[in-house]
Structure 1
Amino acid sequence: MPGHQLAPDIPGGDHADPADPAQVLSAERAHLAAARAALRAMREHAASLSADAAGDWVSQQVLQGLLDQRVAALADHPDTPLFFGRLDREDRDDLPVTIHVGRRHVHDDGSRPLVIDWRAPVSRAFYQARPSDPMNVRRRRRFGFHGGELTAYEDEDLGQGAAPQESKILTAEIERPRTGPMRDIVATIQPDQDEIVRAGLEHTVCVQGAPGTGKTAVGLHRAAYLLFTHREKLSRSGVMIVGPNRAFLSYISSVLPALGEVKVDQTTVGGILGGHAAAEPPAVAAIKGDARLAPVLRRALWAHISKPEEGLLITRGVNRFRVPDHEVREIVASLRGTTRYGPGRAALAQRLAHAVLVRMEQRGESPDDRVQDAVARSRPVKQLLDQVWPKVTPEQVLFRLLSGGDFLARAARDDLTAAEQDTLRWPKPPRSWKSARWSAADAALLDELAALIERPATLGHIVVDEAQDLSAMQLRALGRRCRTGSATVLGDLAQGTTPWSARSWEEVLTHLGLADGSVTELTMGFRVPREVLDFAARLLPSIAPGLAAPRSLRPGAGSLTVRRTGDLAAEVIAAVREVTAREGSVGLIAADAAVPALAAALADDGVPHDVLGPDSTGGHRVSVIPATLAKGLEYDHVVVAEPAAIVAAEDRGLARLYVVLTRAVTTLTVLHTHPLPAELT
Structure 2
Amino acid sequence: MNTKVYAQGVGKSMDNSSLAPREEEEKRLLTVLEQVGRRMRKELAVLGERRGDVVGIRQEFWEDVRMNFSDSSEVAETWTSIVQQAEVLAERERSHRVASEAVERLTKQFDSPYFARIDFTERGGGTEVVYIGRASLIGEDGETFYVYDWRAPVSSLFYDHEPGPAAYRVPDGQIEGELELKRQFVIRGGLMKHMFDTSETVGDEILQAVLSEGSDTAMKSIVATIQKEQNGIIRDERHKLLVVQGAAGSGKTSAALQRIAYLLYRFRETLTPDQIILFSPNPVFKGYISHVLPDLGEANMRQMTFRELIEARLGRRFEVEDLFSQTEALAELEGTAEGEARERAVKYKGSEHFFITVENYLKRLEREGIQFRTLRFRDMTIASSEEIAAQFYAVEASDGFATRAATTKRWLLQRLKAWVESQMGEKWLEEAAELVDQEDIQRAYVDVRRSGGFHDEVFDDEEQMSLRLKRQVAEEAIAPIAKAVRSYRFIDAVSTYTVLFESRPTFASCAPDGLLPQGWDWMSLRAEETIGRKRIDHEDATPLMYLSEALEGFRRVEGDIQHVFVDEAQDYSPFQAAFLRRRYPRARMTVLGDFNQAIYVQSQDSGGFGGWTRLMAPEATSVLRLTTSYRSTEQIVDFTKGILAPGDAANISPFHRSGEPPRLISCADPGALGERAAADIAELLARGHGTIGVIAKTASEAADAEALLKELLADDVPLTLVTGGSAELPKGVSVLSSYLAKGIEFDAVLVWDASAKRYGREKDRKLLYTVCTRALHVLHVYWTGEPSPWLPETEGER
Structures share fold, TM-score greater than 0.5? yes
Residue 549 of structure 1, CA deviation: 3.4
Partner of residue 561, structure 1: 663
Residue 25 of structure 1, CA deviation: 2.6
Residue 296 of structure 1, CA deviation: 3.9
Query: Equivalents in 2 of 1:89, 1:225: separation in Å?
Result: 22
Q: Deviations over 1:52-109 (max 9, x none)?
A: 9xx9999999989986875575433659623222223447688993332111222233
Q: Is the CA contact 1:204–1:486 (under 8 Å) kept in the aligned structure 2? A: yes
Query: Equivalents in 2 of 1:289, 1:404: separation in Å?
Result: 15
Match of 1:594 among 701, 719, 728: 701
Q: Is the CA contact 1:468–1:508 (under 8 Å) kept in the aligned structure 2? A: no
Query: Equivalents in 2 of 1:233, 1:105: separation in Å?
Result: 20
Residue 467 of structure 1, CA deviation: 0.3
Q: What CA RMSD, in Å, does the superposition of the two structures yield over aligned residues?
A: 4.1
Residue 187 of structure 1, CA deviation: 0.5
Shift of the 547–572 alpha-carbon distance from structure 1 to 2, 3 Å rule, reads closer
Shift of the 633–68 alpha-carbon distance from structure 1 to 2, 3 Å rule, reads farther
Matched, 1:529 2:571: no
Q: Tell me, what secondary structure is at the counterpart of 1:127? A: helix
Q: Tell me, what secondary structure is at the counterpart of 1:678? A: coil
Residue 114 of structure 1, CA deviation: 2.8
Q: Tell me, what secondary structure is at the counterpart of 1:446? A: helix
Match of 1:142 among 165, 184, 198: 184
Matches within 5 A, 1:271-286: 271-274=308-311, 276=315, 277-278=320-321, 281-286=342-347
TM-score, with length taken from structure 1: 0.77
Q: Which residue identity is paired with 1:152?
A: K
Partner of residue 302, structure 2: 265
Q: Tell me, what secondary structure is at the counterpart of 2:790? A: helix
Query: Equivalents in 2 of 1:56, 1:301: separation in Å?
Result: 53
Q: Is the CA contact 2:498–2:527 (under 8 Å) kept in the aligned structure 1? A: no
Shift of the 461–650 alpha-carbon distance from structure 1 to 2, 3 Å rule, reads farther
Shift of the 597–263 alpha-carbon distance from structure 1 to 2, 3 Å rule, reads closer
Partner of residue 151, structure 2: 119
Q: Is the CA contact 1:73–1:262 (under 8 Å) kept in the aligned structure 2? A: no
Q: Deviations over 1:411-445 (max 9, x none)?
A: 45362626543233354847988x72334333312
Match of 1:152 among 185, 193, 217: 193
Q: Which residue identity is paired with 2:680?
A: A
Match of 2:536 among 425, 438, 458: 438
Query: Equivalents in 1 of 2:48, 2:553: separation in Å?
Result: 42
Residue 198 of structure 1, CA deviation: 0.8
Unaligned runs of 5+ in 2: 1-17, 58-82, 168-177, 327-341, 370-388, 412-485, 793-798
Shift of the 201–258 alpha-carbon distance from structure 1 to 2, 3 Å rule, reads farther
Partner of residue 454, structure 1: 553
TM-score, with length taken from structure 2: 0.66
Matches within 5 A, 1:7-18: none
Matches within 5 A, 1:583-662: 583-584=688-689, 585-592=691-698, 593-604=700-711, 605-606=713-714, 607-616=717-726, 617-644=728-755, 647-648=758-759, 652-662=763-773
Q: Tell me, what secondary structure is at the counterpart of 1:152? A: strand
Partner of residue 594, structure 2: 492
Match of 1:396 among 475, 492, 499: 492
Q: Which residue identity is paired with 1:121?
A: P
Query: Equivalents in 1 of 2:518, 2:545: separation in Å?
Result: 25
Q: Tell me, what secondary structure is at the counterpart of 1:680? A: coil
Query: Equivalents in 1 of 2:119, 2:757: separation in Å?
Result: 52
Unaligned runs of 5+ in 1: 1-16, 309-327, 352-389
Query: Equivalents in 1 of 2:610, 2:87: separation in Å?
Result: 45
Q: Which residue identity is paired with 2:767?
A: R
Shift of the 568–134 alpha-carbon distance from structure 1 to 2, 3 Å rule, reads same
Partner of residue 294, structure 1: 355
Q: Which residue identity is paired with 1:424?
A: M
Query: Equivalents in 1 of 2:538, 2:100: separation in Å?
Result: 35
Query: Equivalents in 2 of 1:472, 1:630: separation in Å?
Result: 23
Match of 1:576 among 681, 695, 700: 681
Matched, 1:131 2:163: yes
Q: Tell me, what secondary structure is at the counterpart of 1:234? A: coil
Match of 2:232 among 182, 192, 195: 195
Q: Is the CA contact 1:559–1:666 (under 8 Å) kept in the aligned structure 2? A: no
Q: Is the CA contact 2:660–2:777 (under 8 Å) kept in the aligned structure 1? A: no
Partner of residue 396, structure 2: 335
Q: Tell me, what secondary structure is at the counterpart of 2:736? A: strand
Shift of the 637–507 alpha-carbon distance from structure 1 to 2, 3 Å rule, reads same
Determine what percentage of the aligned residue pairs are the same residue.
24
Shift of the 499–514 alpha-carbon distance from structure 1 to 2, 3 Å rule, reads farther
Residue 500 of structure 1, CA deviation: 2.5
Query: Equivalents in 2 of 1:431, 1:665: separation in Å?
Result: 43
Matched, 1:504 2:608: yes
